[in-house]
Amino acid sequence: FLLSGLVFSENVQAGGVNLTYSNFFPPGHIQSVLAESWCKEVEARTNGEVKISYFGGNTLVKAAQIYDGVVTGRTDIGMSCLLYTRGRFPLMDVINLPFGNPSGKFATAVFNEVYNKFQPTELADTKVLYLHAHGPGLIHTQKKNVTSMADLKGLKIRSTGSIAGMIKALGAIPVSMPMPEVYQALQKGVVQGAIYPEETNKGWKMGEVIDYSVVSYPTAYSVGFFAVMNKDKWNALSQEARDAIDAINMEWAIKHGDAWDTSDYEGIRFSLAQGNSMTGIDPDEAAKWKAALEPVFDDYIEKTEKRAVPGKDALDFLNKQLKLYHNGEFQSQYY
């Protein structure tokens, strides 16, 4: 009977184009829910010209393959994280630096502004729908509270990719492992901490196995995410549909940024409810951390120079916007 049910289930296909959307965020995660609502919005505002089949949680294309999957047409639209394909996005990597990320809203806005200003060739083989970036990435530890760099010495901290350089620069020992293993590793004490945004305390349940959050906003990093579409599929759409989607993208970029901050609050609430504590670091100490992290920024500039990409300009631009933000003067159509 199930089979017959499937056979007779109506499929609205009248004339329009059917697209697939692969997201690495698991279904239920707010970032996945938003992407799915983007699909619904596109269907509504293109008057049925575009219909989208949505696949969350790596089910159609795996996280590290999503950008490539959009280029090759395995999926028509995709959302994933820039960190998974290191070296592929040399300029856009700027957002993953510990630049002192104040919020997901700011990081998302400035990330889109960086893209618009520099139009990097690294993203030229797809149609970029919009970008977003998570809130302040912080160190979280177990048993031992960290208030200074000296406390970090010798601690094993789980970190991915380029973030490992930051951990090393601060004097801790970076340990790499796949995300699904981190919970167990913290529980067993294989690592004494991990670095991630507050959101992850609830999203991946890390709040259950950590004790302290080290709230060092001046050295907080972000991780950038992209929503991109296959160029041929994009060009095949009608002008009206493309205009409608562009308008939606602007709205949704803002929604994603706001959602990152809401998730961070929820993560903090979850973490505190588990009896964990959050400690800030004082300004003198923060200055020491910033000084220690200089090589991380130098490394970025050096790498982009090697690839003939204006990394230094992008970093300067980012820092200028951050300064404007702290003076209350930051302006962006994504903000």
Partner 1 sequence: MNKVAVFMKKVSGVMLVAMMLVTCLDVGGNIFGHPLLGSEEIVSLLAALLIAFTLPAAHQERAHIGVDMLYLRFSPRTKKINDSILCVITAIFFSLVSWECFKYAGDLKRIGQVTAVLELPIYYILYAVSAGCGFLSLVVVSQLLKIIREGSHE
Partner 2 sequence: MNEFVMAGFVGITVLILFFFTRIAVAYAMAIVGFLGYWYLTNLTAALALLSRDMFDVFSSYGLALVPLFVFMGFIAFYSGISAKLYDMAYKFMGRVRGGLAMATVAACTAFGAICGSTTATAATMGTIGLPEMRRYKYGNRLAAGCVASGGGIGALMPPSVILIIYGILTQISIGKLFMAGIVPAFLIAGLFIVAIFIYCTIYPEQGARGEEFSVMERLKALADIWETILVFMVVMGGMFFGVFTPTKAGAVGAFALLVIAVIQKKISWENFQRAVFDTLKTSCMVIMLVAGATIFGHFLALTRIPMEGANLVATLDWPSWAVIFIICFIYLVGGCFIDALALITLTIPIFYPIVSSLGYDLVWFGVIIVLITQLGIITPPVGVNVYIVKGIEPDIPLEEIFIGVIPFVIALIVGIMIMVAFPSIATFLPDLVR
Q: By the criterion CB under 8 A, which residues form the site for partner 1?
A: 68, 83-88, 90, 122, 154, 156, 160-162, 164, 173-178, 307
The residue within the footprint of partner 2, chosen from 45, 51, 74, 303 (CB under 8 A), is 74
Residue 2's binding partner among partner 2, partner 1, none (Cβ under 5 to 8 angstroms by kind) is: partner 2
Considering only residues 177-206, where is the footprint of partner 2 by CB under 8 A?
Answer: 177-178, 180-181, 183-185, 187-190, 202-205
Sequence-distant (≥ 6) Cβ neighbours of residue 284 within 8 angstroms: none
| Closest distance to partner 2 from the beta carbon of 5 (Å) | 5
User: Is 185 or 220 the residue whose CB approaches partner 1 more closely?
Assistant: 185
81 binding partner 2? (CB under 8 A): no
CA dist 189 and 97 (Å) reads 27
CA dist 47 and 290 (Å) reads 51
Count residues binding partner 2 (CB under 8 A).
Answer: 45
286 binding partner 2? (CB under 8 A): no
User: Is 40 or 144 the residue whose CB approaches partner 1 more closely?
Assistant: 144
CA dist 133 and 2 (Å) reads 42
User: Is 43 or 68 the residue whose CB approaches partner 1 more closely?
Assistant: 68
| Closest distance to partner 2 from the beta carbon of 171 (Å) | 21
Alpha carbon of residue 276 to chain centroid: 25
The residue within the footprint of partner 2, chosen from 49, 51, 53, 86 (CB under 8 A), is 53
Residue 20's binding partner among partner 2, partner 1, none (Cβ under 5 to 8 angstroms by kind) is: partner 2
